[in-house]
Every structure is written in structure tokens, then in C-alpha cells.
Amino acid sequence: MKFRRQKSAHEDATQMMTPMIDIVFQLLVFFLLTFKIVSPEGDFNIRMPLSAPSEGRPDESQLPPLQIRMTANAEGQLTGLRLGENPLKDFQHLHDEIVTIVGDDTGPGSIAEETEVELECDFALKYEYVIEAITAVSGKVENGHIIRLIEKIKFASPKS
């Protein structure tokens, strides 16, 4: 009688494993399916205030904006990059020019804070080039820290 009880208890324990393994596998599948690598995202501020006709007079104290002109072919690939009238090779060149203009002074009231950049892009230009240009003018990464340069960025009307 004693032996029979022990044997049946052992059988029950073996049977109890099955639902537990089921649940474990289900949890595993659940976490596998919901696992998703979400890359961190950041924002770039752009200044696009409403253009009120009564307030259309430009601020005299403000420096004229630096104009960055980007041209594109029909596929949206970048074909030309200019800072004012100065043609540039690439975005690194643009960044170097911006650093030359604003210098290392990036604190409050500095040239970097006062200067404004106007992006003039072809209609078909791929948006990724705009972000590259904004990256080139708005800062740099040194030793893991971001040093901000020009943060006043606006768009000019698109060229077709």
C-alpha cells in the first residue's frame, strides 16, 4: 500500500512537468516575438515662424543668414553644395567652413548663437542630405560630448 502511493505520487510529479514546460516555451516565444531593437532618436530644432506681414521688417541687429544651397538631380542625389557663393566638396568641408566662420566661441551671446543658417534645397533632394547638412552646421562630437555650433536653422522656399 505504501509503495503504491509513492509510485503514484511520482507519476503525478512527472505529469505536472508538461504544462510548466509549455508555459516556459510560450514565454520564450513571447519574448522572442516582442524583442525589438529600437534605435535612439534625437531632434533638430528648426525655426519656421509664421511670416506675419506687419512684422516683416528684419531685425537690424541680426546678422544676415548664411545661405547653404543644395542642388539635386532627378533621383534626388546631391549634385552640388554651396555656402553662399563658395562651392564645397562635401559636408565635412561645410562643417570646416562653419567652424572657420563661427570659431570656437559657442557660449551665450556668441557668434554661433547669433548666426542663422538658411537651407535652400532643390525640391527632389533626398531628405537625408538635409539632415547631413544640419548635422554639419549644428555641431560636432568631441570625446563623446556634443559641441553645439549654429542652432538657428530655417528653410528657404524649395527650388524646383
Binding site for other proteins (CB under 8 A): 18-19, 22-23, 26-27, 29-30, 33-34, 36, 38-46, 48-50, 70, 72, 76, 91, 121-132, 134-135, 138-141, 146, 155, 157-158, 160
Q: What is the distance between the terminal CA atoms of the chain, rounded to a whole angstrom?
A: 94
The nearest distance, CB 124 to other proteins, in angstroms, is 5
Tell the smallest beta-carbon distance from residue 18 to other proteins (Å): 7
Rank residues 105 and 128 by Cβ distance to other proteins and give the closer one: 128
Between strands 152-155 and 86-87, the pairing is unpaired
Q: What is the nearest approach in angstroms of other proteins to the Cβ of residue 42? A: 3
Helix (H, G, I), strand (E, B) or coil at 83: strand
Cβ-contact 136, 86 below 8 angstroms? no
Planar angle of CA 137, 49, 44, nearest 5 degrees: 35
Please, what is the minimum distance in Å from the beta carbon of residue 30 to other proteins? 5
Give the whole-angstrom CA distance, residue 32 versus residue 129.
36
Comparing CB distances to other proteins, the nearer of 63 and 146 is 146
Of residues 2 and 17, the one with the C-beta less far from other proteins? 17
User: Which residues face 159 on adjacent strands?
Assistant: 122
